[in-house]
Chains A and B, each alone.
Chain A
Amino acid sequence: MNQLMIDPAWAWTQYKPSPDVPWDLPTAAHLHRRAGFGATRQQLENAVARQPTDVVADLLAATEPETYKSQINSLIKAALATGNVKRLSAQWVYRMLTTPAQLQEKMTLFWHGHFATSADKVADAELMQQQNDLLREYALGDFSQLLLEISRDPAMLIYLDSVSNRKAHPNENYAREIMELFALGEGNYSEQDIRELARCFTGWEIKRKKFRFNRYQHDDGIKTVLGTSGKLAGEDGVAIVAAQDAAPRFIVRKLIQFFVMDEPVAADELVEPLAIQLRADNMQVAPTVQRILASNLFFSTHARARKVRSPVEVGVGFLRSLAASTDAYQLADSLEQLGQGLYYPPSVKGWDGGRTWINSSTLLSRANLIRRLVDGGKTRFDKQSLDEYLKAGGVDSSKELIDYLETSLFAVPIPAAAKDRIVDLDASSGRDAQRRVADAVHILCTLPEFQLA
């Protein structure tokens, strides 16, 4: 496996702006793309006026005000009243677009892919939202506790065919997934550990959409899980898994992949310092995320444009960068068509991400999504048309338009040939301003460079 060998001490040292890596608009845009779903030009300018560490700290500290939460809860309530998960997806898109707690939402999406559970199988909007709320509550919190809560989450257990677990026939599904996919990774447990952990979970059931412990079905014999023996209950089993050295390594490696780069995989040496910190922080995720986002590595060329935008980052990121609002139903549908249906991850492994987001079909669909968003009657850019919005932002020429979009939407410079094409198009076109701008944005967003985050 291709691994990134890099000096861990340098990598995780706090980033200090320098002539080589200045704290400027593109760097601030990089931070907001990764730690959230993008930021407007104004937000980027505000960020640049401050120290990067302060901006990162603010991203971590940001919470949703009570009034906002209450508005979102009314959207959730409306969706649950119909039992329609698609409506829940639209609600989540709306939240991603509007929440002031961007990092919390990005982490919620991270955990949704990590503890992947699909409404296709669960078929219950209430349970799906219950799990989503749980992921948000622990998004930057205690991983061990989240692991325990998710182990008793009705949607998760329904999804993994674990609604009943009797001592006579221990169900090994969840025991396998918690070690393989949720906490340790392959190679850090044995088949015997799976069988023993499954015994710990006996008596755990879902009845009438609620978790229940059926003591009559619990195997209260001695079990040995990952070297620890005793009359272990399910809670003990989860705690033993979370206490393994492999657990913080597994989570840190995934966080690096999520925030820093799709490829190559971080080497053990690079992972170790953060794994030690995560354990030292009692598995509290926030300090580790903060260290990643404020690190030399995060702002270095090893991280810049080293991720492929997920469909959510394409759609929501485009809109947020231009202060836009749109039809959340339609966007949620488009995300599903592009392979990232919210509440509908493809398997228990979640989304593979990285290069798998891109193929000839999705590349075209991504371009079409941008076109639909730009042309869609319901898409408004800060309550205006796109050309009005850009004009208000001081964009008066095709060159200024390119500069503006390059900063807001691109992780790498736009190729000169593409820039020339936009300038030529502008000069030769007799169309109205709105159409010209829409065409230019569409052309730019079809570039391979736009696919990089």
Chain B
Amino acid sequence: MMRILVAAWLVTMSIVWGQAQVATAEKPLTDAKLYPATSIAYFELSAPVDLFATILDHPLREKIESLQPYQMAIQSQQYKQFLFGRGMVETQLQMTWREALETFAAHRVSVAFDAATQGAAMIAHGKDAESMKLFHQKLLEFARLGENRDSIKEGEYRGVQAYQINGTRFAAYEDRMLITNKSELGKQILDRLIDGGESLAENQRFQTALAARDQKLAGWGFVDVQAIRDSGVAGAVYNDKIDNPVLELLLGGIQSSLQKTTYATISLTANVSNVGLKLGIPYQAAWIPEHREYYFGPSGDGRGPVLPAVPETLFTLSTYRNVSEMWLRAGDLFGADINDGFAMADANLTTLFAGRDFGEDILGSLEPEVGFVAARQDFSDVLPRPTIKLPAFAFVFDLKQPETMTRELRRIFQSLIGFLNIVGAMNGQNQLELDMQKIGDHAELVTSSYVPEADDKESTDAHIVHNFSPSVGFAGKRFVVSSSRDLARQLTLAKTASPAVIDDNTSAKLNASVLRDVLSDNREQLIAQNMLEDGNSREEAEAVINLLLEVVGYFQDASLRLGAADDQLEAEFKLQVRP
């Protein structure tokens, strides 16, 4: 029982991280003055009460709580035990758990990591000294009732009472509660609370970061990248090579920036309609070495393309990556093993692409602005209809020399389909049927589709291959490679946007309502998967999948952008909630 009480108290306190913010007349901008100058990472929830209210009073909460699985979960024994423990805590504190949270973290909650002591600390800036003393006292009482009461140690530092439970130190000073895993760090923080001293706030890089901080944030953090780099910790992050082609493509430019940048900041925003997390570092185009020019472009301002809009778009990715350059510079970017793989892939792909050099001729024929689109497929009037309904996907490129490459790529595609048919026939797989369409004067499609077996033509539970009808489309400079004929047609015929590029190097967006539809299309598959994976009955699996679909339906979209501007490299993730 005591364990439940202590756990409930700790849970209550930990939730505090999502709240507070009462009046802030003389509230300092951060808690940086309280942490030692050797601190290398700092994060705070600037207005915990507001954030807490955003979460707890959000309309979504009511919807989730009305769901059947939630109602079932709160009937469980564990939840009832938790409620009992929470009730005990509330009785002891003589306030509801929410009041307790809002009191405990009324002004701010901050955490920091100190390199000198290798310790982490949290400071909760509560409502007033009396409340924090009460929390301090009650926590000690609960701990004494617990199983490990013999391990509680009490002490005093400069007149401040402190105690230690299972390696964690607690102390209350005026309206602040300090929690740390290192005594030395705790003492240093108490020194600064009592009479100040050299602190993180004097760190030049911290000051620069703070000066650029947006004031209306739910949370803000700082990482002293230079100090970490100088200390030799996390050396792998600062290596010149990632040695993984996929990670290189995703993070190569960021890694080069981390080798030079001095700090990083984290900004958290949260309101009723969205949650956002932004990571930023100082950035200069000159920091990017020549062999990674493929990432941001030669002048460091490569931008992704504006993608044509198509119905039922599930996911879009627009990015600037000179893939040909990366392929040809593999020798500089990767180690020997990866390069062996590249050499083998190059030889095979060159064969597959009818003798054209894959890196130079094929990838080299494409502009570095690359788009990827995934869209839900509508199978309502299509037969055979696959059991598993996958989204169609396509890459959208611009050709450097459409007048010569269109013909080349058309021929290569035809050869590729022929090759797939030969291999498929050897393995008893369905064959692809080629078709060509000229649309107006400027567009053409080369499509292929799987020929169904005679007794499969009307099937509504056909094989997964019937999701695919590999196709390519050409329209002026635009070159589309798609998994489906319809998507190829839509993307090929869509009007060219103006301006042609976005403001960022990379932008990705996931449409939650289409995702929900895609998941709904495959509801039976998901139920089957859940039954086998979790051992659930059909009814239980249906409840889980229905919940998943409901929850996904509450969101509008999720987006991620990577942009370099104003000497700043920013990566921002945003989750939009449906109004």
Interface stretch among A71-79, A245-253, A348-356? A71-79
Centre residue among A78, A87, A97 by max chain B CB count within 10 A: A78
Are B528 and A74 in contact (CB-based, < 8 A)?
Answer: yes
A450 to B479, CA, bound (A): 65
Most buried by A among B387, B388, B533, B535: B535
Range class of the A interface residue count? 20 to 34
Residues of B within 8 A of A326 (CB): 535
| A74-B524, A74-B527, A208-B453 given; A81·B387 CB < 8 A | yes
> Would you call A380 an interface residue if the criterion is a C-beta within 8 Å of the partner chain's C-beta atoms?
yes
| Cβ-defined contact, B532 with A91, below 8 A | yes
Q: With an 8 A cutoff between CB atoms, is A2 at the interface? A: no
In whole angstroms, what is the CA distance A77 to B528 when docked?
9
**Set B77, B386, B525: member contacting A78, Cβ < 8 A:** B525
Q: Is the CB of B461 within 8 A of A380?
A: no
B496 CB-CB contact with A under 8 Å:
no
A149 at the interface (CB under 8 A from B): no
Contact A78 B528 (CB under 8 A): yes
Q: A204-220: contact bitstring with B at CB < 8 Å (1 yes, 0 no)?
A: 00001100000000000
In angstroms, Cα B55 to Cα A81, docked, is 41
**Minimal beta-carbon separation of A70 from chain B (angstroms):** 9
B532 close to A75 (CB less than 8 A): yes
Q: Is the CB of B536 within 8 A of A325?
A: yes
Contact of A81 among B453, B464, B531, B533 (CB under 8 A): B464
CA distance A382 to B156 in the complex (A): 52
Q: In the bound complex, what is the Cα–Cα distance between A82 and B463 (angstroms)?
A: 7
Cα A328 to Cα B536 with chains together (Å):
10
- Kindly name the residue among B77, B453, B532, B533 whose own CB sees the greatest number of chain A CB atoms within 10 A: B532
Q: Is B529 at the interface (CB under 8 A from chain A)?
A: yes
Which A residues lie within 8 Å of B567 (CB)?
none
Asked if B534 and A378 sit within 8 Å, CB to CB, the answer is yes
Interface residues of B in 528-576 (CB under 8 A from A): 528-529, 531-538
The interface on chain B, measured as residues whose beta carbon lies within 8 A of the other chain's beta carbons, has a size of: 22
* Closest Cβ neighbor of B539 among chain A residues: A71
Nearest CB in chain B: distance from A157 CB, A: 15
- Are B77 and A90 closer than 8 Å at their CB atoms? no
User: Contact between B531 and A378 (Cβ–Cβ < 8 Å)?
Assistant: no
* Whole-angstrom CA separation of A416 from B336 in the bound complex: 62
Is B77 a contact partner of A388 (Cβ separation < 8 A)?
yes
Distance in angstroms between the alpha carbons of A97 and B531 in the assembled complex: 12
Do A78 and B529 contact each other (CB < 8 Å), given the known contacts A327-B535, A378-B534, A379-B535? yes
A77 to B464, CA, bound (A): 12
Contact status of A81 and B525, CB under 8 A, knowing A325-B535, A325-B536, A327-B533: yes
Residues of A within 8 Å of B463, CB to CB, are 81, 83
Q: Is B461 a contact of A94 with CB atoms below 8 Å?
A: no
Question: Within the assembled complex, what's the spacing in Å between the Cα atoms of A183 and B536?
Answer: 40
Is the C-beta of A329 less than 8 angstroms from some C-beta in chain B?
yes
Tell me the minimal C-beta distance from A98 to chain B in angstroms.
8
Q: Hey, which chain A residues are within 8 Å of B453, CB to CB?
A: 208
Report yes or no: A380 in contact with B532, Cβ–Cβ below 8 A. Answer: no
A83-B464 contact in complex given A78-B387, A208-B453, A327-B535, C-beta closer than 8 Å: yes
Chain A residues, CB < 8 A from B532: 75, 87, 90-91, 94, 327-329
| Residue from B386, B525, B538 in contact with A71 in the complex, judged by beta carbons closer than 8 Å | B538
Q: In the complex, A98 Cα to B541 Cα: how many Å?
A: 14
Checking A81, A87, A378 against B535 with a beta-carbon cut-off of 8 angstroms, the contacting residue is A378
Contact B387 A77, beta carbon cutoff 8 Å = yes
- The 8 Å CB contact of B388, one of A74, A81, A94, is A81
- Chain B residues lying within 8 Å of A94, measured Cβ to Cβ, are 531-532, 535
Q: Which of A81, A97, A378 has the most CB of B within 10 A?
A: A81
CA distance A380 to B538 in the complex (A): 16
Closest residue of chain A to B464, judged by CB?
Answer: A81
Q: Is the CB of A81 within 8 A of B529?
A: no
Task: Return the CB mask of B384-397 against A: 1 if under 8 Å, else 0.
Answer: 00111000000000
Q: Name A379's closest neighbour in chain B (CB-CB).
A: B535
Cα-based distance from A79 to B387 in the complex (angstroms) = 10
Chain A residue with Cβ nearest B387: A81
- The proximity string for B residues 2-37 relative to A, scoring 1 for CB distances below 8 Å and 0 otherwise, is 000000000000000000000000000000000000
Question: Which B residues fall within an 8 A CB radius of A?
Answer: 77, 386-388, 428, 453, 461, 463-464, 524-525, 527-529, 531-538
11 contacts between A and B (CB under 8 A): A77-B387, A80-B387, A81-B464, A81-B525, A82-B388, A87-B532, A98-B537, A208-B428, A324-B535, A328-B533, A380-B535
- A: residues with CB less than 8 A from B are 71, 74-75, 77-83, 87, 90-91, 94, 97-98, 208-209, 324-329, 378-380, 388
7 additional A-B residue pairs with CB within 8 Å, beyond A74-B538, A82-B388, A327-B535? A77-B387, A77-B528, A78-B387, A81-B463, A328-B533, A378-B533, A380-B535
